[in-house]
Protein backbone atom coordinates (compact mmCIF):
# COMPACT_ATOMS: atom_id res chain seq x y z
CA UNK A 1 0.00 0.00 0.00
CA UNK A 2 1.38 3.38 -1.05
CA UNK A 3 1.75 6.14 1.56
CA UNK A 4 -0.82 8.93 1.16
CA UNK A 5 1.22 11.82 2.48
CA UNK A 6 3.41 14.10 0.41
CA UNK A 7 7.16 13.59 0.19
CA UNK A 8 9.22 16.75 0.72
CA UNK A 9 12.95 17.04 0.06
CA UNK A 10 14.65 20.16 1.41
CA UNK A 11 17.70 20.91 -0.73
CA UNK A 12 20.53 22.84 0.92
CA UNK A 13 23.77 23.88 -0.71
CA UNK A 14 25.90 21.91 1.74
CA UNK A 15 29.13 22.89 3.47
CA UNK A 16 32.26 21.43 5.00
CA UNK A 17 31.26 23.29 8.17
CA UNK A 18 29.19 20.88 10.32
CA UNK A 19 27.09 23.78 11.63
CA UNK A 20 25.47 24.11 8.20
CA UNK A 21 24.08 20.57 8.13
CA UNK A 22 22.94 20.92 11.75
CA UNK A 23 21.01 24.05 10.79
CA UNK A 24 19.40 22.31 7.81
CA UNK A 25 18.38 19.32 9.92
CA UNK A 26 16.94 21.69 12.53
CA UNK A 27 14.81 23.42 9.90
CA UNK A 28 13.67 20.06 8.52
CA UNK A 29 12.67 19.01 12.05
CA UNK A 30 10.52 22.13 12.52
CA UNK A 31 8.78 21.66 9.16
CA UNK A 32 8.26 17.97 9.96
CA UNK A 33 6.76 18.78 13.35
CA UNK A 34 4.40 21.35 11.85
CA UNK A 35 3.33 19.01 9.05
CA UNK A 36 3.31 15.41 10.29
CA UNK A 37 1.31 14.47 7.18
CA UNK A 38 4.44 15.12 5.08
CA UNK A 39 7.54 12.94 4.80
CA UNK A 40 10.20 15.65 5.17
CA UNK A 41 13.88 14.90 4.60
CA UNK A 42 16.99 17.08 4.19
CA UNK A 43 19.43 16.75 1.29
CA UNK A 44 22.55 18.53 0.07
CA UNK A 45 24.03 19.54 -3.27
CA UNK A 46 27.62 19.29 -2.06
CA UNK A 47 29.87 18.31 0.85
CA UNK A 48 27.17 16.36 2.73
CA UNK A 49 24.84 13.46 2.07
CA UNK A 50 22.25 12.42 1.09
CA UNK A 51 22.08 14.08 -2.30
CA UNK A 52 18.61 15.12 -3.55
CA UNK A 53 18.59 12.33 -6.15
CA UNK A 54 19.19 9.81 -3.35
CA UNK A 55 16.30 11.18 -1.31
CA UNK A 56 14.03 11.04 -4.36
CA UNK A 57 15.06 7.43 -4.92
CA UNK A 58 14.25 6.61 -1.29
CA UNK A 59 10.83 8.25 -1.66
CA UNK A 60 10.19 6.19 -4.78
CA UNK A 61 11.28 3.00 -3.02
CA UNK A 62 8.96 3.81 -0.10
CA UNK A 63 6.00 3.98 -2.46
CA UNK A 64 5.41 7.71 -2.67
CA UNK A 65 3.64 8.98 -5.78
CA UNK A 66 4.52 12.67 -5.45
CA UNK A 67 7.42 14.69 -4.12
CA UNK A 68 8.29 18.36 -3.83
CA UNK A 69 11.88 19.64 -3.92
CA UNK A 70 12.37 22.88 -1.99
CA UNK A 71 15.63 24.75 -2.66
CA UNK A 72 16.86 26.11 0.67
CA UNK A 73 18.34 29.04 -1.20
CA UNK A 74 17.70 32.77 -0.89
CA UNK A 75 18.51 33.58 -4.53
CA UNK A 76 17.86 31.82 -7.82
CA UNK A 77 21.51 31.84 -8.84
CA UNK A 78 23.37 28.93 -10.47
CA UNK A 79 22.54 26.38 -7.80
CA UNK A 80 18.83 27.18 -7.97
CA UNK A 81 18.63 27.44 -11.76
CA UNK A 82 20.91 24.54 -12.71
CA UNK A 83 22.00 22.25 -9.87
CA UNK A 84 18.62 21.62 -8.24
CA UNK A 85 16.74 20.84 -11.49
CA UNK A 86 19.73 18.73 -12.48
CA UNK A 87 19.12 16.51 -9.47
CA UNK A 88 15.63 15.74 -10.75
CA UNK A 89 17.10 14.86 -14.16
CA UNK A 90 19.70 12.64 -12.50
CA UNK A 91 17.02 10.88 -10.45
CA UNK A 92 15.03 10.20 -13.62
CA UNK A 93 18.16 8.72 -15.23
CA UNK A 94 18.52 6.46 -12.20
CA UNK A 95 15.00 5.14 -12.71
CA UNK A 96 12.98 7.27 -10.28
CA UNK A 97 9.44 7.58 -11.60
CA UNK A 98 7.46 9.52 -8.97
CA UNK A 99 6.06 12.93 -9.90
CA UNK A 100 8.43 15.68 -8.72
CA UNK A 101 7.49 19.35 -8.36
CA UNK A 102 10.19 21.97 -7.92
CA UNK A 103 9.32 24.77 -5.47
CA UNK A 104 10.53 28.34 -5.69
CA UNK A 105 13.57 29.48 -3.74
CA UNK A 106 12.90 31.14 -0.38
CA UNK A 107 14.04 34.58 -1.50
CA UNK A 108 12.20 37.12 -3.66
CA UNK A 109 10.56 35.78 -6.81
CA UNK A 110 9.11 37.94 -9.55
CA UNK A 111 9.86 41.11 -7.62
CA UNK A 112 7.90 39.97 -4.57
CA UNK A 113 9.68 39.69 -1.23
CA UNK A 114 7.95 37.13 1.04
CA UNK A 115 6.61 38.74 4.18
CA UNK A 116 7.61 35.59 6.04
CA UNK A 117 11.23 36.14 5.00
CA UNK A 118 11.08 39.66 6.43
CA UNK A 119 9.46 38.25 9.57
CA UNK A 120 12.41 35.90 9.96
CA UNK A 121 15.02 38.60 9.45
CA UNK A 122 13.29 40.90 11.91
CA UNK A 123 12.91 38.10 14.43
CA UNK A 124 16.63 37.36 14.32
CA UNK A 125 17.46 41.04 14.79
CA UNK A 126 15.21 41.18 17.83
CA UNK A 127 16.81 38.04 19.25
CA UNK A 128 20.20 39.66 18.81
CA UNK A 129 19.11 42.45 21.12
CA UNK A 130 17.04 44.65 18.86
CA UNK A 131 13.35 45.41 19.01
CA UNK A 132 11.15 47.79 17.10
CA UNK A 133 10.27 51.25 18.35
CA UNK A 134 8.60 54.25 16.75
CA UNK A 135 11.91 55.65 15.50
CA UNK A 136 13.73 52.57 14.32
CA UNK A 137 15.02 49.35 15.84
CA UNK A 138 15.94 49.39 19.51
CA UNK A 139 19.35 47.98 20.31
CA UNK A 140 20.53 46.01 23.29
CA UNK A 141 21.19 47.78 26.54
CA UNK A 142 20.98 51.54 26.93
CA UNK A 143 22.61 52.41 23.62
CA UNK A 144 19.35 53.62 22.07
CA UNK A 145 18.29 52.83 18.51
CA UNK A 146 19.92 50.87 15.73
CA UNK A 147 19.50 53.45 12.99
CA UNK A 148 20.93 51.48 10.08
CA UNK A 149 21.09 47.83 9.00
CA UNK A 150 23.46 45.87 6.76
CA UNK A 151 21.90 42.86 5.06
CA UNK A 152 24.87 40.49 4.70
CA UNK A 153 24.60 37.73 2.08
CA UNK A 154 26.98 35.02 0.87
CA UNK A 155 27.47 36.62 -2.53
CA UNK A 156 27.10 35.61 -6.18
CA UNK A 157 28.39 36.72 -9.58
CA UNK A 158 24.83 36.52 -10.92
CA UNK A 159 23.62 40.11 -11.28
CA UNK A 160 19.95 39.09 -11.38
CA UNK A 161 20.35 37.14 -8.15
CA UNK A 162 22.07 40.12 -6.51
CA UNK A 163 19.10 42.19 -7.62
CA UNK A 164 16.81 40.04 -5.51
CA UNK A 165 19.03 40.66 -2.48
CA UNK A 166 18.65 44.38 -3.13
CA UNK A 167 14.88 43.87 -3.24
CA UNK A 168 15.00 42.13 0.13
CA UNK A 169 17.11 44.95 1.58
CA UNK A 170 14.66 47.59 0.32
CA UNK A 171 11.73 45.69 1.81
CA UNK A 172 13.55 45.22 5.12
CA UNK A 173 14.36 48.93 5.18
CA UNK A 174 10.68 49.76 4.69
CA UNK A 175 9.69 47.24 7.37
CA UNK A 176 12.12 48.57 9.99
CA UNK A 177 12.04 52.23 9.07
CA UNK A 178 15.84 52.54 8.82
CA UNK A 179 18.28 52.55 5.88
CA UNK A 180 19.50 49.12 4.83
CA UNK A 181 22.59 48.36 2.75
CA UNK A 182 23.50 45.06 1.08
CA UNK A 183 26.89 43.42 1.65
CA UNK A 184 28.48 40.21 0.41
CA UNK A 185 31.00 37.82 1.89
CA UNK A 186 32.32 36.80 -1.55
CA UNK A 187 31.99 37.25 -5.32
CA UNK A 188 30.82 40.88 -5.24
CA UNK A 189 31.38 44.08 -3.28
CA UNK A 190 30.84 45.60 -0.82
CA UNK A 191 32.07 43.66 2.19
CA UNK A 192 30.01 43.91 5.36
CA UNK A 193 32.54 46.21 7.00
CA UNK A 194 32.46 48.59 4.04
CA UNK A 195 28.66 48.71 4.19
CA UNK A 196 28.80 49.44 7.94
CA UNK A 197 31.26 52.25 7.30
CA UNK A 198 29.05 53.59 4.52
CA UNK A 199 26.08 53.81 6.87
CA UNK A 200 28.19 55.44 9.56
CA UNK A 201 29.49 57.92 7.00
CA UNK A 202 25.92 58.79 6.03
CA UNK A 203 25.09 59.66 9.63
CA UNK A 204 24.07 56.36 11.24
CA UNK A 205 25.50 55.97 14.74
CA UNK A 206 24.39 52.44 15.64
CA UNK A 207 24.39 49.84 12.85
CA UNK A 208 23.04 46.30 13.03
CA UNK A 209 23.85 43.27 10.86
CA UNK A 210 20.98 41.18 9.46
CA UNK A 211 22.19 37.78 8.26
CA UNK A 212 20.84 36.82 4.83
CA UNK A 213 22.05 33.29 5.47
CA UNK A 214 20.05 30.14 6.16
CA UNK A 215 22.93 28.52 8.04
CA UNK A 216 26.24 29.49 9.65
CA UNK A 217 29.49 28.71 7.93
CA UNK A 218 32.79 30.24 6.84
CA UNK A 219 31.18 32.91 4.66
CA UNK A 220 28.88 33.99 7.46
CA UNK A 221 31.83 34.06 9.87
CA UNK A 222 33.71 36.25 7.39
CA UNK A 223 30.80 38.70 7.04
CA UNK A 224 30.44 38.96 10.82
CA UNK A 225 34.17 39.51 11.34
CA UNK A 226 34.21 42.26 8.70
CA UNK A 227 31.20 43.98 10.26
CA UNK A 228 32.62 43.75 13.79
CA UNK A 229 35.91 45.24 12.64
CA UNK A 230 33.92 48.22 11.34
CA UNK A 231 32.08 48.65 14.63
CA UNK A 232 28.71 47.03 14.04
CA UNK A 233 26.59 47.13 17.22
CA UNK A 234 24.14 44.21 16.76
CA UNK A 235 24.75 40.94 14.89
CA UNK A 236 21.79 38.70 14.04
CA UNK A 237 22.20 34.94 13.70
CA UNK A 238 21.44 33.13 10.40
CA UNK A 239 17.77 32.35 9.79
CA UNK A 240 18.19 28.58 10.37
CA UNK A 241 14.99 27.19 11.96
CA UNK A 242 13.23 30.44 12.87
CA UNK A 243 9.45 29.72 12.78
CA UNK A 244 8.77 32.20 9.97
CA UNK A 245 11.24 30.39 7.70
CA UNK A 246 9.65 27.01 8.45
CA UNK A 247 6.30 28.56 7.55
CA UNK A 248 7.79 29.95 4.34
CA UNK A 249 9.12 26.51 3.42
CA UNK A 250 5.65 25.06 3.99
CA UNK A 251 4.09 27.77 1.81
CA UNK A 252 6.53 26.97 -1.00
CA UNK A 253 5.69 23.25 -0.68
CA UNK A 254 1.95 23.89 -0.82
CA UNK A 255 2.22 26.22 -3.81
CA UNK A 256 4.38 23.78 -5.77
CA UNK A 257 2.14 20.81 -4.99
CA UNK A 258 -0.96 22.72 -6.07
CA UNK A 259 0.67 23.89 -9.28
CA UNK A 260 1.76 20.32 -10.07
CA UNK A 261 -1.74 18.97 -9.38
CA UNK A 262 -3.32 21.63 -11.60
CA UNK A 263 -0.88 20.84 -14.40
CA UNK A 264 -1.58 17.11 -14.11
CA UNK A 265 -5.32 17.72 -14.26
Query: How far is 210 from 169, CA to CA, in rounded Å?
Result: 10
Local confidence pLDDT in tens for the 265 residues of the chain = 344 489 999 999 989 999 999 999 999 999 999 999 999 999 999 888 999 999 999 999 999 999 999 999 999 865 656 788 888 989 888 889 899 999 999 999 999 999 999 999 999 999 887 555 444 454 433 344 789 999 999 999 999 999 999 999 999 999 999 999 999 999 899 999 999 999 999 999 999 999 999 999 999 999 999 999 999 999 999 999 999 999 999 999 999 998 876 665 5
Nearest to 148 by CA among 185, 196, 211: 196
Domain ranges of the chain: 7-108+242-264, 115-235
Q: Which CATH number fits domain 115-235: 3.40.50.1400, 3.90.105.10, 2.70.70.10, 3.40.50.720?
A: 3.40.50.1400
Sheet with strand 145-146: strands edge to edge: 131-133, 136-138, 145-146
Predicted model pTM: 0.90
What pLDDT does 142 receive?
Answer: 33
CATH number of 7-108+242-264: 3.40.50.1400
**Could you check whether 7-108+242-264 and 115-235 share the same CATH topology?**
yes
What pLDDT does 144 receive?
Answer: 45
Sheet with strand 66-71: strands edge to edge: 39-44, 7-12, 66-71, 99-102
First to last CA, the chain: 23
Amino acid sequence: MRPAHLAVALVAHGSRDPRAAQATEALAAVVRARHPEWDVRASYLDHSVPRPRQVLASFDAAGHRRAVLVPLLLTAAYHGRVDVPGEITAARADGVRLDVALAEVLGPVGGRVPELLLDGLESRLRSAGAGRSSGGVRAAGADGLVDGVVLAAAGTRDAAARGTVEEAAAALSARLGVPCRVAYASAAPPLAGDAVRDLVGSGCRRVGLASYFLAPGLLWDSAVASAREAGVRVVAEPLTDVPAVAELVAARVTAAARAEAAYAA
